[in-house]
A and B are shown apart, each in its own frame.
Chain A
């Protein structure tokens, strides 16, 4: 099973500037584990204390994973995952 993962500019230093990479995993947790094995350090930019960082948005196809079970969100072959940092501030 291979899933296309779109990487935002700010995380491309981890992926050698690739805009999209391929990873595997049946849940978001598994996918992030695989990403971190391929691109060490990227997991830390997505997770904090074992949870999804508040100001990182991850989408499976068109849906925010927060509505799909967050880290437990199921992923199936052919899904596309997009990571975007929140545009936010004070």
Chain B
């Protein structure tokens, strides 16, 4: 299991996490259905506007799934940032993870590692977290 993702998407997610700091940022990357390849980045508004929680706005969520259906796409990546903790799924991340087919990407810009950024990817299925390798393509 691994995630292959372009440098441009990694940079965009990191930039979004910095722009929305101290709140968590979030979004999704879509790809053609069945491909598992992330091709279209969709930053989402964090409706929780919180440094410790994120939630896609319910109206945006419906629009997102409609787009996915209309364009014959799938949600390949669901990402969000942690601002003060490790880029590892929290208890709530695990409890609410509802897309067994998605890569759950976490970025962390916590002070201890600054100016470095952690960018890690996981599968979260039935409450079980499995970290996977991230290959970044230039």
Interface residues of A (CB under 8 A from B): 8-10, 55, 57, 59, 62, 64, 66, 82, 84-90
Contacts and interface: CB of A to CB of B under 8 A. Distances in A.
B97 interface: yes
A4 to B, nearest CB: 13
Contacts of A66: 58
B93 A84 contact: no
Interface of B: 26, 28, 44, 48, 52-56, 58-59, 61-62, 65, 78, 80, 89-101
Contacts of B94: 89
Contacts of A62: 62
Contact of B61 (A10, A84, A90): A84
Given A9-B100, A89-B92, A89-B96, 13 more contacts: A8-B98, A10-B99, A55-B98, A57-B61, A57-B62, A64-B62, A82-B62, A85-B96, A86-B55, A88-B55, A88-B96, A89-B53, A90-B54
B64 to A, nearest CB: 8
Nearest to B90: A90
Instruction: Summarize B's interface: helix, strand, loop or mixed.
Output: mixed
B89 A89 contact: yes
B59 A89 contact: no
B61 A9 contact: no
A73 to B, nearest CB: 14
Contact of B58 (A9, A64, A89, A90): A64
Nearest to B48: A88
A86 B58 CA distance: 7
Given A62-B62, A84-B65, A89 B54 contact: yes
Nearest to B93: A89
A21 to B, nearest CB: 16
A66 B47 CA distance: 15
Contacts of A85: 96, 98-99
Given A57-B58, A64-B58, A82-B62, A87 B100 contact: no
A84 B55 CA distance: 13
8 contacts: A8-B98, A84-B61, A84-B62, A86-B96, A87-B26, A88-B48, A88-B55, A90-B53
